[in-house]
Amino acid sequence: EVAEASFAFLQIELINYLLAQGEDGVRKLDNIGYQMGIRLAERLTRDRPRFADNLEIIKFICKDLWSYLFRKQVDKLQTNHRGVFVLADSNFPWIGSFSSSASSDSVKEAAQDWLVFPCAIIRGALSSFGVPCTVQPDISALPRCWFTVRLTK
């Protein structure tokens, strides 16, 4: 185990380095998150039986993956039962530094870029289970954060 601060500092440098490259960097960040999601999902499910259905996979994301990344579970999961899932986190840790001054649009825009990383991790993890999807963040009420997962198959 390592200090969460070590990871946080490293993550900040990685994201700053990439976002300084503009659109291109956002694309790279998305790709890095996606690949990490695949690898993490493979590692976390190595010793467990196959999932029965998509809901079980989403629950794995909300519990196991969330605990691994953010040291807690998703606070609330909602679904329309037609392939849309909304994961609500009441205090999302990876954008903590934006939360205090999140009233302005420019700060929200910056936070939105930061969320490319966790959204891509979630998408990567789901894709490794054969569940292609899009993941859309909503930060209109920071530090609360919603992630809308839409299955595309």
- Tell me, what amino acid is at 37? G
Strands (E), 58-117: 76-79, 84-89
Using CA atoms of 152, 108, 39, 73 in order, give the dihedral in degrees to the nearest 10: -90
With CB under 8 A as the contact rule, which of the stretches 3-11, 51-59, 82-90, 101-109 interacts with another protein? 3-11
With CB under 8 A as the contact rule, which of the stretches 2-10, 47-55, 103-111, 122-130 interacts with another protein? 2-10
Binding mask 71-100 for another protein (x = CB under 8 A): x-----------------------------
- 28: contact with another protein by CB under 8 A: yes
- 26: contact with another protein by CB under 8 A: no
- 43: contact with another protein by CB under 8 A: yes
Q: Which two tokens stand for residue 114?
A: 């930061």
Chain position carrying tokens 């996606």: 34
CB of 38 to another protein, least distance (A): 11
Looking at the Cβ atoms of 14 and 151, the one nearer to another protein is 14
Q: Which one of residues 14, 19, 86, 88 is an interface residue with another protein (CB under 8 A)?
A: 14
> Alpha-carbon distance 10 to 55, whole Å?
33
- Tell me, what amino acid is at 5? A
**Cis, peptide link before residue 132, omega less than 30° from 0:** no
